Structure 1
Amino acid sequence: MRRLPALATFSVLLLPVLGCGYSSYEARLEATQGRLKDDIILNQQLYSAAQGEFAENSIFLRVPQGMAQQPEFELIPLNPDAFEVAASFTSQSANANYALHVLARRDSQEPPNPEEPPRPARGDFRSDVINVLAQVYGPEITSAPIEQVNKTVWPRSDVAPPVAFERLTMTDRNLQLIHLYFYKEESGNANYEAALIWEFPSGEAPTASPNPVDLTLGTFAVGQRAASRFSGRPDQVGGAAGDGGAAVAF
């Protein structure tokens, strides 16, 4: 009979431990269910990640369904050494009445290979992009207003910070709305810089919910976080870059 008080005391002490374990399990289960729901939304709204030069340079991009990648960059001819990625995606359906053009660089921080010819020197990425676009949309783009914007990471997470962009907005000579998103990040042994140029011929950005443009921006990733996404793994905790590095706007 002397054992009963001890057993009762042990049971009282054990209950909070079991309760914490159950709460942790419930939280993990809820997070998994939320991610699965987000994956369904993404797969309904976006195509799988672009391959080719995107995958080769660890740049993860999923465009809205109804858009198709064109054989080459459509805005103007480019210097082949200016960018690692130069791509255009255009609407193929009434549900995607917009276009997306992408320019990106991946500059390795590793020492150059002496057996390979040196790469031609390149100017400032942002200036080079603006110079390209000024030939398309007009010189007004050089003075267009700029703002900091944050896009929710998709699949959504309570621990991942938003994806930070700097957005330039203008209306071009054809009265179409232009949203230019600049992104910059250091990840692993490389510096990444990207410009996502959205054209909205109607003069208005889509307002649907969920918004396919925001989903594209929310799933955008470079470097090690892009490698994780290409492999189908969830983002890691520790910054928007997933490797402890911080994603920053220009």
Structure 2
Amino acid sequence: MNALTRSISAYWNSSIGKKLIVAVTGIALVLFLFGHMTGNLLVFAGREAFNDYAQFLHHALHGAGIWIARLGLLGAVVLHVVATIALTRQNKSARKPYEYQATIKATKSSRIMIWTGLTILFFVIYHLMHYTIRVGNEYANPALYTDAAYLAKTGEARHDAWKMVIDGFSVWWVAIFYVIAMTVLCSHLGHGVASIFQTLGWNSKKSRPLIEQFSWAYSAVIWLGFVSIPVAILVFKFGR
């Protein structure tokens, strides 16, 4: 085992190392969520605006950018969940019988965070299979999902991502599952964002109430942004 491997192993085995991994991957995911939500809301701007956005993403870095982002997202979620589970197990094994009740309460909260984190990981995998790999649907069929208006205007074919989103959330159980997953995600965020501040030492007794308010406010914005899309399509028949 070389020096680099030993350093990585020692960092991972330390409680501080795992906490920092959880915090850093958490920051990356929090920032990604806001950017992803903003882009998705372009669906309300119509087919052209949303398909322009999708085309930009798929052509970034000659097509490599979108896959770097996808694999980076999946890797960050996996690392975030694995580090959280390892940290909780390490804390549990080190706990003593005479620990304060507050510590036991914190451990119970950590268990809930683990289960919501695993649920989110499952959703990310499903979401990639549904809209990216397009398993079990016809979203990759150019005969059904070619942007006809863009083809007539430019003579070039491009994928009709707007229609794909509309059709995807027109299936009632997909829309409901998405809303449930976003609710679980934002419940996780409500605790998680505040925990990032605490791990990085940006939390104090005076600032804690403000940080908690910001954490839940951010979670509410993310929830409203993401949930508005399937609700508008399923309930209000947007785009149909």
Q: Which structure shows the bigger proportion of residues in helix conformation?
A: 2
- With normalisation by structure 2, the TM-score equals 0.29
Task: Flag the structure with more relative contact order, 1 or 2, with Cα contacts below 8 A and sequence separation at least 6.
Answer: 2
- With normalisation by structure 1, the TM-score equals 0.28
Larger Rg: 1
